[in-house]
Amino acid sequence: MSQGFIALLSFMAFLSVNVGVLNLLPIPALDGGRILFISIEGITRKKISRDAENLINNIFFFLLMALLIYVTINDIFRIF
Protein backbone atom coordinates (compact mmCIF):
# COMPACT_ATOMS: atom_id res chain seq x y z
CA MET A 1 0.00 0.00 0.00
CA SER A 2 2.74 2.48 0.94
CA GLN A 3 4.73 1.78 -2.23
CA GLY A 4 1.67 2.59 -4.33
CA PHE A 5 1.24 5.88 -2.50
CA ILE A 6 4.91 6.80 -2.98
CA ALA A 7 4.66 5.92 -6.68
CA LEU A 8 1.56 8.11 -6.97
CA LEU A 9 3.31 11.05 -5.28
CA SER A 10 6.35 10.60 -7.54
CA PHE A 11 4.15 10.59 -10.63
CA MET A 12 2.28 13.71 -9.46
CA ALA A 13 5.59 15.49 -8.82
CA PHE A 14 6.86 14.44 -12.27
CA LEU A 15 3.73 15.81 -13.96
CA SER A 16 3.89 19.05 -11.98
CA VAL A 17 7.51 19.70 -12.92
CA ASN A 18 6.81 18.92 -16.59
CA VAL A 19 3.83 21.28 -16.73
CA GLY A 20 5.93 23.99 -15.09
CA VAL A 21 8.79 23.58 -17.57
CA LEU A 22 6.45 23.54 -20.58
CA ASN A 23 4.67 26.64 -19.29
CA LEU A 24 7.97 28.55 -19.16
CA LEU A 25 8.84 27.87 -22.80
CA PRO A 26 9.13 31.19 -24.68
CA ILE A 27 5.90 30.70 -26.59
CA PRO A 28 3.43 33.57 -26.62
CA ALA A 29 0.13 32.67 -24.90
CA LEU A 30 2.10 30.90 -22.15
CA ASP A 31 3.90 32.40 -19.15
CA GLY A 32 7.22 32.06 -20.95
CA GLY A 33 5.79 34.26 -23.70
CA ARG A 34 5.25 37.03 -21.18
CA ILE A 35 8.86 36.67 -20.06
CA LEU A 36 9.87 36.84 -23.74
CA PHE A 37 7.96 40.11 -24.26
CA ILE A 38 9.49 41.62 -21.12
CA SER A 39 12.96 40.56 -22.32
CA ILE A 40 12.40 42.12 -25.74
CA GLU A 41 11.23 45.34 -24.09
CA GLY A 42 14.32 45.32 -21.88
CA ILE A 43 16.70 44.80 -24.80
CA THR A 44 15.11 47.30 -27.18
CA ARG A 45 14.09 49.76 -24.42
CA LYS A 46 10.79 50.22 -26.27
CA LYS A 47 7.37 49.22 -25.00
CA ILE A 48 5.55 46.73 -27.22
CA SER A 49 2.06 48.02 -27.96
CA ARG A 50 -0.74 46.25 -26.13
CA ASP A 51 -2.54 45.58 -29.44
CA ALA A 52 0.51 43.92 -31.01
CA GLU A 53 1.06 41.80 -27.91
CA ASN A 54 -2.59 40.73 -27.86
CA LEU A 55 -2.53 39.88 -31.57
CA ILE A 56 0.61 37.73 -31.18
CA ASN A 57 -0.83 36.00 -28.10
CA ASN A 58 -4.12 35.28 -29.90
CA ILE A 59 -2.36 33.87 -32.96
CA PHE A 60 -0.19 31.55 -30.86
CA PHE A 61 -3.17 30.54 -28.71
CA PHE A 62 -5.08 29.43 -31.79
CA LEU A 63 -1.98 27.64 -33.12
CA LEU A 64 -1.66 25.78 -29.80
CA MET A 65 -5.35 24.85 -29.93
CA ALA A 66 -4.94 23.63 -33.52
CA LEU A 67 -1.97 21.52 -32.42
CA LEU A 68 -4.03 20.11 -29.54
CA ILE A 69 -6.88 19.19 -31.91
CA TYR A 70 -4.47 17.65 -34.43
CA VAL A 71 -2.77 15.52 -31.78
CA THR A 72 -6.10 14.42 -30.32
CA ILE A 73 -7.50 13.41 -33.71
CA ASN A 74 -4.25 11.62 -34.57
CA ASP A 75 -4.42 9.68 -31.29
CA ILE A 76 -8.06 8.72 -31.88
CA PHE A 77 -7.32 7.47 -35.40
CA ARG A 78 -4.30 5.54 -34.14
CA ILE A 79 -6.56 3.62 -31.73
CA PHE A 80 -8.81 2.44 -34.58
Q: Residues 2-25: pLDDT tens digits?
A: 678 889 999 999 999 999 999 999
Backbone torsions φ then ψ of 19, nearest 5 degrees? -65, -40
pLDDT above 90 (res 29)? no
Tell me which residue range forms the domain holding 12: 2-79
Is 0.85 topped by the overall pTM?
no
Q: Where are the alpha helices (DSSP H) in the chain?
A: 2-23, 31-44, 50-79
Quickly count: other Cβ atoms within 10 Å of residue 1's Cβ.
5
Please, what is the average pLDDT of the chain?
92
Region 16-39: mean pLDDT is: 92
Q: Which one, of 53, 67, 61, 11, lies nearest residue 19 by Cα?
A: 11
Using only C-alpha atoms, the chain has a radius of gyration, in whole angstroms, of 18
